[in-house]
A and B are shown apart, each in its own frame.
Chain A
Amino acid sequence: MTINTLAKGGWYREQMTCFRKMEKVIVAMQDPDMGMKMRNQRLLITVIPHAMTGRDVIDWLIQKYNICEEEALHVGGMLVRYGYIYPLKEPRSLVLRADETPYRFQTPYFWTSTRWPASELDYAIYLAKKNIRKQGELMEYEKERYSLLHKRINHTWDFVVMQAREQLRASKQRRKADRIVLECQEQAYWLINRPPPGAHNVLDMGLEKPNNFSLRVTLNSDYYKREIESCRRALGRNRVKSSICLEGFVKFSEQYQNHDPIMQGCLPSNPWISDDTAHWTMNSEIVPVPTRLRVERWSFSFMELLNDPIGRREFMTYLEKEFSAENLCFWQACEDIRHGESSKIIQKVEDVYKNFLAPGAARWVNIDSKTMDKTLEGIKHPHRFVMDDAQLHIYFLMKKDSYPRYLKSDLYKNMLAKAIVPQETKKSVFPFMRRQRHSSPSPAQAVTQVTEEDGRAMGAGKAGTNSAAGSHV
């Protein structure tokens, strides 16, 4: 249905700024004293007033706006291209010629407008009118569009035809000269709004289409304040030099090179190739004896140690010996709050407070006073991240203090010594042997198998036909 352009709550379409400016130029041209000089157009017997030559237009533009001829030609050309002035001799050629070619002003009803774009119903009525007026007057592309519209708005086609007839009957009430002018106006309007194929469509803004015509930014103090604020925030963002980034990346790669299964290969064998799942079983979450590479990784960073279940267990054992196990327990409890169920958060926060933070608690953790106050404030309105500051504090405490001592401790060194290094499975001497120790061959080998079998079968077939052919001959 229609878009209610005057509805208060609706979307109010604005006229594009360039159109508004062109309208002002056209209105300025109408001035009886300073405006355009009008001539009469002679057509056999009828005389139609208000015609002007291209030369007149350019001269007027030069004189009014004090510009050079080239610019006047450009501006005048825009007026013609956007349909405010239409040519009388060659209607399809929308250019401004600086000579005696006649032009005329377009009526304001048919001015190009983004507020009321030409609708399909209107176009259908126009084409129907053109067809009724003179059979066979429609061009090829107009006939195509007519059939397309007939399909698209089929339900209202009776209305289209009737309205076309009525509009023709209404225009018959006017005198001949006016009828010619009205037809020219309408033709010019539709040449702009539904251009023939191949002609440039001025209403198509292309990829840089402005998405909000009515966005007019007023350059006042508020606007500049907002700009300053956003620039300040942008300056305050954390930035790292790219050289430092790259150094960190190189260090990480060097450290993890030996641990990467793709770069170094994995022991005992790559399960994807050999179908032997020993690698996965040996590196699963809880094993009696971890692999050596795994234990080495614990020394890379504290997070590696904590993320590994066996590592965490070992670290806990160590802390218990040092009588500072409550730190790790507190940290684990905070992780549970952060990643756990929403419904249990309040209960968990209560428990944590009772066990770790309350004065005289069983496993009291040592947090500095500022963080303690902030956390206690937050506990009154518990949410998922209320323990974050305290957890971070304890984390850094462990990292700076307990973790280096653990790495130097006997517990860790024994772990390292006990860790197994799996043996690489012996590769068979004949690499292309199809018999594997375990069941299904790998897909790559399956393909070669099939082609080999096919080859043999085809060879046998060919031999068969050859012999058959030979026998027939």
Chain B
Amino acid sequence: MPLVNNKVGDDCTVGTDKALADGKALVDSLIKVVACYRHLASCVGSCTDSLQLRDELRQTREKAQNLAVSICQHLTSHLRDKSLPEEQRKEMELLWVAFSSGLELLHVDMCKVFSMGDIFSLANSASLVQTGLQGGGSEVAARALSLPDLNQARAPEAGLESQERSTMEQEISQIDHMIDDMEMKVNVLRWMVEPHGPQYADPLSSTDSASLALLSVDEEQPGHQPQSQHSHMVVFVVLFAVVLVATTLSVCVVFFS
């Protein structure tokens, strides 16, 4: 009998573990889509604004909305479940907080895109602001939609701007309602939620990081520089080794010639 009990217990936690993993994956992809949407939104009204950009924005927004709806349902149902064990609940609350922050950012971006669409209509392309950007955001949109390459089969249709705007208005109000509903249904005490990660995050694993260094910026002392000292040391060691090799070779040459 105890064996049976253990088995039942394992199943329960396995079930919620899976739910947690699912929720985490969904929230991660929402964060990615929100970041891409923001990136694309910063191009609206600039010289790279085009029907294609607006179409990409729309697709990204739809994806974000679908993700948001499914996360909302997933998290709400689990957090309202009273029998959830304590650590699972804490994890869920973390996801909840991340989800609501992401939704906030998405909402602001959608409002901004909507109002900028008002000011900068594509019909009058002479008034687009020349910001110095040259390329489009297709790769970013592809990343958002998790497609290897954005297939251009669906050509963006012109003349649907007004319909697009009314859809957008609806969707913004839908997100409004979602936010309100969330607060009503689930009571998450934000001051009780503790994050996992450290205050200062590790840098990304890419060497091409300091793009601003190209500009002749005369900034003030930017704090301590352990990384540059480390790289200096490496350079010195390499130079020393080279010099050593060169002297050995020359000595050999002199010795044997």
Contact = CB atoms under 8 A, between A and B. Distances in A.
Interface of A: 1-2, 4-7, 23, 26-27, 30-32, 38, 41, 43-44, 46, 48-51, 88-92, 104-110, 115-116, 119, 121-122, 128, 131-140, 143, 146-147, 150, 154-185, 187
Given A136-B226, A158-B196, A108 B120 contact: yes
Contacts of A150: 199
A387 B35 CA distance: 75
Contacts of A91: 217
A116 B172 CA distance: 15
A134 B209 contact: yes
Nearest to A84: B129
A171 B140 CA distance: 8
B131 interface: yes
A174 B134 CA distance: 10
Interface string B31-44: 11011101101111
A110 B142 CA distance: 24
Q: Determine the interface band of chain B, counting residues with CB < 8 A from chain A.
A: 35 or more
A220 B73 CA distance: 53
A183 B209 CA distance: 12
B102 A88 contact: no
Contacts of B43: 107, 109
A32 B172 CA distance: 34
B34 A181 contact: no
Interface stretch (B15-23, B187-195, B249-257): B187-195
B220 to A, nearest CB: 7
Interface string B77-116: 0000000000000000010011011101101100110111
Given A27-B129, A105-B129, A157-B195, A110 B42 contact: yes
B159 interface: no
Given A1-B183, A26-B129, A136-B224, A170 B35 contact: yes
Nearest to A159: B98
B111 A6 contact: yes
B119 to A, nearest CB: 7
Contacts, number: 228
A89 B45 contact: no
A177 B104 contact: no
A155 B142 CA distance: 31
Contacts of B134: 48-49, 175, 177-178
Contacts of B140: 170-171, 173-174
Interface of B: 28, 31-32, 34-36, 38-39, 41-47, 94, 97-98, 100-102, 104-105, 107-108, 111-112, 114-116, 119-120, 126-135, 137, 139-140, 142-144, 169, 172-173, 176, 179, 183, 190-191, 193-197, 199-204, 206, 209-212, 214-220, 222-227
B210 A107 contact: no
B252 to A, nearest CB: 41
Given A1-B100, A1-B179, A106-B131, 17 more contacts: A2-B107, A50-B47, A90-B218, A91-B217, A106-B129, A107-B45, A107-B131, A131-B200, A133-B209, A134-B209, A137-B210, A156-B190, A156-B195, A166-B36, A178-B134, A180-B214, A181-B131
Given A104-B131, A116-B111, A43 B211 contact: no
Contacts of B36: 166, 170
A27 B35 contact: no
A108 B130 contact: no
B132 A104 contact: yes
B201 A30 contact: no
Contacts of B172: 6
Contacts of B179: 1-2, 4
